[in-house]
Amino acid sequence: MGFNDKRPRFGRLVPLGLFVAVALNHHPARADNPNDILIVVNTNVGENQIPIDVVRDIFLKRVRQWKDTGRLIPINPKNDSPLRRAFQAAVLEMDPAQETRYWQERKMRAGDVPPPSLGYNFKAVFRIKGAISYVFRQDYIKGVSKIVLVIPAKR
C-alpha cells in the first residue's frame, strides 16, 4: 500500500478530528457574574494581564516588584469579609486560618508582615501607585483602576 492510498483516508479524518477538537474545546459564552473577582491594579502599572500564579505570589509576598513600575503594593480588603474569603479560596488556595498561620510563620522567620487590610481597598488602588487589590464585579467602577485578571465566581 503506497503513500497515495493512505492519504485520502487520512484526509477524511482531519476534518473530523478538527470538528471533535473544536466541539470539545468550545465553551458557550459566559455571562458576567456579579460575584466574579476582578484583580485590579493602579493605572500606572504597566502589566495588562497577570496570571493567577503571579497574583498568588504577590499576595503571599513571594514577589515584591512589578517588572517595569517598581514597588508592588498588595492591598487586601478587611479580614473575614466575603471578598477576602472568596479570594483566599480561589487564589491563595487557603482558608483564613491557613493564611493567618502562613503570616505568623513569615513574621517569626524573617520579619515579613502581611499586606495591609483596608476597608477601602478598591479606593486605595485608585490612589496608590503600584497597588494591586481585588473587588467583586458588582462593586467595580469603570475608570478607577485597571482589570488584569478575572476570576470567575464558583457556581
Partner 1 sequence: MAARFCLGCLLIVLGAAPAAAQDQSDPDPPLSAATEPSGQSDNEQPLSEIEALRQEIQALREENKKEIEALREEHQQKLDAFAEENELRHMEMEMELLSGLDEEIEEKFTIYGFLDFVFMWTWFREDSIINGLAWDSLTFALPHANLYFRSQLTSDLFVLMELRYSFLPHGNEEEFEIGGIPYRRTDSEVEMPLPHEKFRLGGVAIERAHLTYQPLDYLGFTAGYFLTPYGIWNEDHASPILIPIRYPYMQTKGIVPMAQLGVQIFGRLQPLKRHYLDYAITISNGRGPLDTVHDLDNNKAIGLKLKLSHEGQYVSAAWGVYGYYGEYRDRKKRIVSFSPRFVVEQETTEHYREYVGSADLLIEAFGFRLQGEYVRRLTQYIERPLRAMEYGVGYQPDYVIWAWYGIIYWDLPLRDLLGTVRLGPFYELEYSHSDVTVPGMKSTTQTWGINLRPSPYVTIKLEAAYLRSTDIEELRETNRDFFEALFIGSQLAVSF
Q: Is 147 in the site for partner 1 (CB under 8 A)?
A: no
Residues 80-139 that bind partner 1 (CB under 8 A): 93, 95-98, 100-101, 104-105, 107-111, 113, 116, 118, 120, 123-124, 126-129, 131
Q: Which is nearer to partner 1, 39 or 74 (CB)?
A: 74
Grid cell in block for residue 131? 497597588
Q: Give yes or no for a contact between 37 and 90, defined as CB atoms under 8 angstroms apart.
A: yes
Task: Point out which residues bind partner 1 (CB under 8 A).
Answer: 51, 53, 57, 62-65, 71, 73, 75, 93, 95-98, 100-101, 104-105, 107-111, 113, 116, 118, 120, 123-124, 126-129, 131, 141-144
